[in-house]
Structure 1
Amino acid sequence: MNISKAIRERRTVRRFNATPIEQELIISLLNKAASLYETEETPHWRCVHFNTFESRQRLADSMSAKIKESKLGRLIPSKMTDIFTNQIINTPVILVFISESAENQRLSDKNYAAVCSIMQNFQLLGWEQALGMLWYTDPMILSESFFKEIGLREGERFAGILQIGHFEKMPRGMRKRTPAEKKWVSIDGDDRPHSESLRVSSQSILDILNEAVWAPNDGLREPWRFIFVTSNETVSRLGTSYGDTSLVLLLVVAKEENDLHKQAEDYAAVCCLIQNFQLLAKSKPWHVRRIIPEWIYDRERCMPFGIRPQERIVAVLEFGGSDRYSNSASTSPMLNITHL
């Protein structure tokens, strides 16, 4: 796959034609999407495949239940809700993605980040197969009826729906993204390679970020910020695991809106950006390790990095040579899919 081309050219598609999509293709793309997500801890996630007319009919009814029961829904003409229902029914393939919650926020975030990253991989892989997709999480569909239809269990979290199909017309191009440089802060760093053998410089990272920022998000919000850290003194405060003086860190930060739904959307968008970055960085002579360490949940330990009150660190990217990670096991999440 031409990663850079797919990231820049992919568009959200809302109208699909009736061309059927083989189940084998969906499974193949899901397996590959999962394999592209590298992790040292196995995340827990699953998806539900609505691939028949009858199953999509039930799903559409459950998705529109809350809308019809709301005060706003009573004012909406039935033709409008029929259009929504028919769109769901006539979409060739619908995948619902679910992540497992956990006993603490870090593990829950790890599972949710994995699902979002896999969904982004799936979108990129599907684009190369001329498959358009719509990532859907509208809170108006979230009801007991919907959760029952998708089989949401206790201790699980709905991550999103991908509506999938072939399309006739390429959607219009998206507006430009803000250059990563304008959302970048460097702590005791400069533009010299931090390690001559690895050539990990701020500019080399920015070059990749300026492609990675083409991540999906509702309304094309850009909720991310980047903190580049090369200060040994600052890094050493985080623990003995950061004792390597050749280590470079990139903290990827998300803005936290007051609206909880927007918070989830923005977190997902930042996860997709990070996944884009990791895919693009594979062509570089240095390794990138994505971690969600315990210390990012401690506001006091985040203070030296200038984390603002309505921000949170989504992940820390460690840059190092392959030797540094030669003993680190990297696994791919196993595919767990239910066909309805």
Structure 2
Amino acid sequence: MKNVSGTIRERRTVRRFSDVPLQQEVIVSLLNEAAGLYEAEGTPQWRCLYFGTPGSREELAESMMAKVNESNLGKLLPAKMKGLLKKQITATPAHIIFIAEAAETQQQRDVNYAAVCSIMQNVQLLGWEQGLGMLWYSDPLILSESFYELIGWREGEKFAGMLEIGCFDKAPRGRKRTPAERKWTIIGEDNSQLADAAPFSAYNVLRLLNEAVWAPNDGMREPWRFIYVTGDKTGAAGNLLFSDEAPSLPFLLVVAAEETDPHKQNEDYAAVCSLIQNFQLLARSEGWHLRRRIPKWVYDRKQCESFGLRPLERIVAVLESGEYKHYSNSGFSSPTVKITIN
């Protein structure tokens, strides 16, 4: 990525696309590069489906409109309005549907979903640099039986969303983000004075977080919070320090608020994953070595509460300075990644 900081801040959600056609090779290249930029511990499994021809977009539109037509709202909408909705789908040059594959454990399900959401953010950033706008769409209203049949839905899979992609004439205005320090807690001593000596000091972490918060999130809910741990004065990290999964000090816990509505809960988790991906890209651009993990202890509620986790919150990732166990799923020949061209 040429200008990570600028691209993250400048990227906008685009809802109106021009009729400039897109080449399939461009989309596949974007997907490969986006997958290659994702780095975290674990082996995520995900797949995506690309709809880029007039025929495939027509089929997709029919499946997306099926539930709308059957709903009470759909029955009230005039035929002309429904026709316009369908036309908007078929006229969009490209659609990519992203799916996190099924897994036996909650930890692996989270690994899969975090990866696919992060890769979707990478696609948006890389596409923006090439003059492509995108809309991340995940409304459950499109999840009809015919839609599931079209995408070959398998039990236990999780729909992460669809990226609608195309060229555009004018970028929408951006909206302000809440500074990261307003959602920031330190456990232990403040090591901000180590700004020059330690990339992962509080000063530098906050500096990058204030850029990373320019992540997509529906309705500007900004569902994230940050807990920066530098020591064990409160006893919060005590048990972890004797564990094989203990992160090295200092470390950053990135937390997501959990809405009671399942759809909003998934959207918020995806938004936090996008923020974390922004942070990783920014850190890499400055030469940091960063580890991103979802260790088993984050599923221990008592352990999480010792770090000040509140009700209806969960830890999405643990970030720490140091060498990471590199994972790259670039190249769709990987058995854990699948793309279907429609």
| Band the TM-score falls in, shorter-chain normalisation | over 0.9
Alpha-carbon displacement from aligned partner over 1:189-236 (angstroms, at most 9, x marks no partner):
313457985342111100000000000011121000000001234323
Number of the residue aligned with 1:184? 184
Q: Distance in 1 between matches of 2:56 and 2:279?
A: 36
Structure 2: which amino acid aligns with 1:82? G
Per-residue deviation, 1:248: 1.1
| Residue correspondence of structure 1 range 99-110 to structure 2 within 5 A | 99-110=100-111
Alpha-carbon displacement from aligned partner over 1:219-259 (angstroms, at most 9, x marks no partner):
12100000000123432312433668x62111000001111
Q: Distance in 2 between matches of 1:8 and 1:243?
A: 33
Q: Distance in 2 between matches of 1:333 and 1:155?
A: 22
Q: Distance in 2 between matches of 1:16 and 1:291?
A: 37
Per-residue deviation, 1:109: 0.6
Per-residue deviation, 1:286: 3.5
Tell me which of 264, 267, 270 is aligned to 1:268.
270
Instruction: Report if the CA contact (8 A) 1:133-1:165 is conserved.
Output: yes
Structure 1: which amino acid aligns with 2:48? C
Number of the residue aligned with 1:84? 85
Number of the residue aligned with 1:198? 198
Tell me which of 311, 314, 319 is aligned to 1:312.
314
Number of the residue aligned with 2:169? 168
Structure 1: which amino acid aligns with 2:105? N
Q: Distance in 1 between matches of 2:274 and 2:202?
A: 21
Structure 2: which amino acid aligns with 1:93? A
Per-residue deviation, 1:84: 1.2
Number of the residue aligned with 1:295? 297
Q: What SS does the aligned partner of 2:110 have?
A: helix
Gaps of 5+ in 2: 333-337
> What is the aligned length?
332
Q: Distance in 2 between matches of 1:333 and 1:222?
A: 29
Number of the residue aligned with 2:158? 157
Give the aligned CA root-mean-square deviation in angstroms: 1.7
Q: What SS does the aligned partner of 1:235 have?
A: coil
1:199 to 1:97, Cα distance in 2 relative to 1, 3 A: closer
Is 1:209–2:209 an aligned residue pair? yes
Give the TM-score normalised by structure 1. 0.93
1:74 to 1:243, Cα distance in 2 relative to 1, 3 A: closer
Number of the residue aligned with 1:240? 243
Q: What SS does the aligned partner of 1:178 have?
A: coil
Tell me which of 244, 257, 281 is aligned to 1:279.
281
Is 1:251–2:247 an aligned residue pair? no
Number of the residue aligned with 1:333? 329
Alpha-carbon displacement from aligned partner over 1:58-94 (angstroms, at most 9, x marks no partner):
1111111111101121111222211111111011111
**Following TM superposition, where does structure 1 have runs of at least 4 consecutive aligned residues deviating by more than 4 angstroms?**
193-197
Instruction: Report if the CA contact (8 A) 2:107-2:296 is conserved.
Output: yes
Alpha-carbon displacement from aligned partner over 1:278-324 (angstroms, at most 9, x marks no partner):
0000133532111001111111111111111111111111123xxxx
Q: What SS does the aligned partner of 2:216 have?
A: coil
Give the TM-score normalised by structure 2. 0.93
Number of the residue aligned with 2:335? none
